[in-house]
Amino acid sequence: MRGTVLVIAFFAAGVIVGFSGRLPENLISPQWSNYALYFLIFLAGIGIGADRKSWHMIRTINFRIFLVPLGIILGSFAGATLSSLLLPALHLREILAVSAGLGYYSLSSIFISELHSEALGVVALVSNILREIFTLLFVPLLVKYFGNLAGIASGGATSMDTTLPIISKYSPKEYGLISLFSGIVLTILVPFLVTFILSVGK
Amino acid sequence: MFCGVLFGIGFGKYPLTLKINDKLLNIAIYILLLLLGIAVGSNEKIIKNIYTIGFQALVITVGAIFGSVAVCWVIYKVYFKIK
């Protein structure tokens, strides 16, 4: 939760500074965030490569567990496609890109604002923060009515860290491991999914 | 990304790598979000349409959660319940 508050605080501080219009032109130029993004992607890569535990876990685990992140991705896309009926102003590709954030709001909003537009980046930021908040609020209900995988499904990429405690509290013990696994796989896939969707059918 | 993964595989044996990397990753994310905030705050079109943007985000979130939960409900019933 502390992370989420910090994220919103940094974003809000940026909005206020930008809105005040007191910044020198050259600081707003997109090249700064471009360099920062490359740096971020590099760091995300190091994190994946260095994470021995996750690599080991992926190799030793039953095939069924792969169905969980796969189902979450397909379900998110299907649900987002449905919601596009309510959002005629947005292209289906844009809606799918936002839903491909899977709750990983920091990375997905930055990718989308760089690759597409800042407006859609904000949609992604808000949408994926909401995904985390809804998950924190509704895991008990979801698990009760839709089975033990429901909390993991709702959490998406967040099921490995921020929503893991609440998911493992309300599901049987072994689902904590599934939650961790699914969250790790989805977190790794988010940047690829977002980039892929935005580059297809341009 | 690829360079990063290679780098991580090479230096992953030192636990310090992951620790420092996590810290740097957080800092990079905060800087980028600050920059995104600045870009948004100085963009009149976004500020004017902030309610529309919020509504779009909400609808997409509800749709995506609903879809994921539905698909995983089926997976749960078919593959996880029988033991």
* Cα angle for residues A27, A5, B35 (degrees, 5° grid): 10
Query: What mean pLDDT do residues B4-15 have?
Result: 72
What's the pLDDT at B83?
A: 46
Examine the pLDDT at B33 and tell me if it is beyond 80.
no
The rounded distance, in Å, linking the Cα atoms of A46 and A156 is: 22
ipTM surpasses cut 0.85: no
The rounded distance, in Å, linking the Cα atoms of A44 and A56 is: 18
The rounded distance, in Å, linking the Cα atoms of B71 and A45 is: 30
In a structure prediction context, what are the per-residue pLDDT tens digits for chain A, which is 202 residues long? 566 677 778 878 877 877 777 766 666 566 666 677 777 777 777 777 777 666 666 666 677 888 999 999 999 999 999 999 999 999 999 999 999 999 998 889 989 998 999 899 999 999 998 998 889 888 999 999 999 999 999 999 999 888 888 888 888 877 888 888 899 899 999 999 999 999 985 5
The rounded distance, in Å, linking the Cα atoms of A107 and A105 is: 6
What's the pLDDT at B3?
A: 74
Q: Find tokens 């796989």 and name the residue.
A: A185
A141-151 residues labelled b (16+ CB within 10 A) or e (exposed): ebbeebbbbbb
> What digits encode the pLDDT tens for the residues B63-75?
999 999 999 999 9
Q: Is B20 on the interface with A (CB under 8 A)?
A: no
What's the pLDDT at A84?
A: 93
The rounded distance, in Å, linking the Cα atoms of A105 and A26 is: 27
Every domain of chain A and the residues it spans: 31-199
Gap from B52 CA to chain A (nearest CA, Å): 9
Cβ within 8 Å of A, B 45-64: 45-47, 49, 52-54, 56-64
The rounded distance, in Å, linking the Cα atoms of A193 and B2 is: 16
Positions of E strands within A31-108: none
Which token pair is A93? 């590709």
The rounded distance, in Å, linking the Cα atoms of A72 and B44 is: 36
Give phi and psi for A22, each to the nearest 5: -100, 10
Task: Let me know: does A139 contact B65? Beta carbons within 8 Å.
Answer: no
Cβ within 8 Å of B, A 37-66: 37, 39-52, 64
Q: Which of A108, A149, A4, A125 is nearest to B56 (CA)?
A: A125
